[in-house]
Chain A
Amino acid sequence: MNELVWIFVSAVLVNNFTLSYFLGLCPFLGVTSRLQTAFRLGLANIFVMLITSVCAFALNTWVLPFAPYLRLISFIIVIASAVQFVEMAIKKLSPELFRALGIFLPLITTNCAILGLALFTTNKGYGFVEGIVFALGAGIGVTLALVLLAGLREETKYRSVPSLIEGTALNLFIAGVLSMAFMGFAGLFST
């Protein structure tokens, strides 16, 4: 149990996917101009990460021991098709959730955070339950980073910023400060 809590907290705060591994930066810088959108993207991320974790576990257990060189190709294809199926299922079963996730669901399939999750789960040798907890933690961590950046960016919209730094450069500096703040969490487990 303790182990699971550690995996979870470490994925959310200490080894935050976006702020310390730089995974999923394209959406992080691209779609965080509004808080609402950022939150929905985060939700879709959590969702796809959970599916990915299950897929990665299945592939690692039944397929990859026989063909290790297929690792990358099979991860990408299986995750993309699983998300496609789930998308169709959600559209049928819960239109509200489908609308909330919107276009992001198919888009984030090729996000590096997703493939990164599958690879990290494999490298660390997590089992089924550990994988799910890790995916949940990573997803929540990404959502947290997205929401924080979007909130700060909304603030900068109403301030007069020098035109030279406006845009990506400013977002990178904000992200740097956030990342520095998150480094502080590294002391949480130094027992």
Chain B
Amino acid sequence: MEEIKPIEKRDSYEFLKGLWKENPVFVAVLGMCPALAVTNSATNAMAMGLASTFVLISSSALVSLFRKLIPKEVRITTYIVIIATFVTVIDFLMAAYAPDIHKALGAFIALIVVNCLILGRQEAFASKNSVWLSIVDAAGMGFGFTFALLCIGTIRELLGSGSLFGINLFGSTFEPWVVMILPPGGFFALGTLLLLFNWWKYKRKSMRHE
């Protein structure tokens, strides 16, 4: 463990990097399937993001707790079983407490198991760091993921149905761009966001050169 940074500073660094600098969707381009499949409304995007965050935090904590006991050869399988367990938990929880959202997300809740972001964090971070740091890192990544999903979901819902979180914003004169809530809209929305991100990075780089 690094001793250079004071503990509190390192905590906030691990948390903040997931939100922006190493944002799982915009920078690392991980977890694309849910990022596009369920973001046709802001509500769905939010639910998906929070469910993934729950799975990420709990499995990171557990993997980190057992990191010295898990044999190297079967570690990936072990991670997957741990993740699948928590996904089953959230699947049943949502079916019980939020049946509408559960129905809207459908098989995609179960597909959190194969979200490469979650497995990636276990392999890259939780298996090497203490429980507390792993939880902080997982929370940062999870909220970064939720933030990205919410961005895409907001754009798609605003343009595609003229509303936000189900509340109509533009009145009846607005002609919705139906394509935005259909599959192609997902590709276009994320493509545009990545383009903006590239532009921002490019601007910063050229500013530094001057």
Contact = CB atoms under 8 A, between A and B. Distances in A.
A163 to B, nearest CB: 8
Interface majority SS (helix, strand, loop, mixed), chain B? helix
B114 A112 contact: yes
A83 interface: no
A136 interface: no
Interface residues of B, number: 40
Interface majority SS (helix, strand, loop, mixed), chain A? helix
Interface string B69-109: 00000000100110011011001100000000000001100
Contact of A179 (B77, B114, B187): B187
Contacts of A61: none
Given A116-B111, A165-B198, A172 B85 contact: no
Interface stretch (A18-26, A44-52, A96-104): A18-26
Given A76-B84, A176-B191, A119 B32 contact: no
Nearest to A111: B114
B77 A80 contact: yes
A173 B110 contact: no
A119 B111 contact: yes
B177 to A, nearest CB: 12
A115 interface: yes
Given A73-B85, A120-B107, A112 B33 contact: yes
A93 interface: no
Contacts of A19: 183
Given A73-B84, A172-B191, A22 B183 contact: yes
**Chain A: interface residue count, which band?**
35 or more
Contacts, number: 108
Given A169-B195, A169-B198, A179 B80 contact: no
Interface in B152-209: 179, 182-188, 190-192, 194-195, 198-199, 202
Contacts of B183: 19-22, 179, 183
A64 to B, nearest CB: 13
Contact of B179 (A22, A80, A172, A180): A180
Contact of A69 (B36, B88, B179, B198): B88
B113 A72 contact: yes
Contacts of A119: 107, 110-111
Interface in A138-182: 164-165, 167-170, 172-173, 175-177, 179-180
Given A25-B36, A72-B113, A175-B187, 20 more contacts: A22-B37, A22-B186, A23-B33, A25-B33, A72-B84, A76-B80, A110-B80, A110-B119, A164-B198, A165-B198, A167-B198, A169-B191, A169-B195, A169-B198, A176-B191, A177-B184, A180-B179, A183-B182, A183-B183, A183-B184
Interface of A: 19-26, 29, 69, 71-73, 76-77, 80, 110-112, 114-116, 119-120, 123, 164-165, 167-170, 172-173, 175-177, 179-180, 183
13 contacts: A21-B37, A26-B116, A73-B88, A76-B81, A76-B113, A112-B111, A120-B107, A123-B107, A173-B187, A176-B185, A177-B184, A179-B184, A183-B182
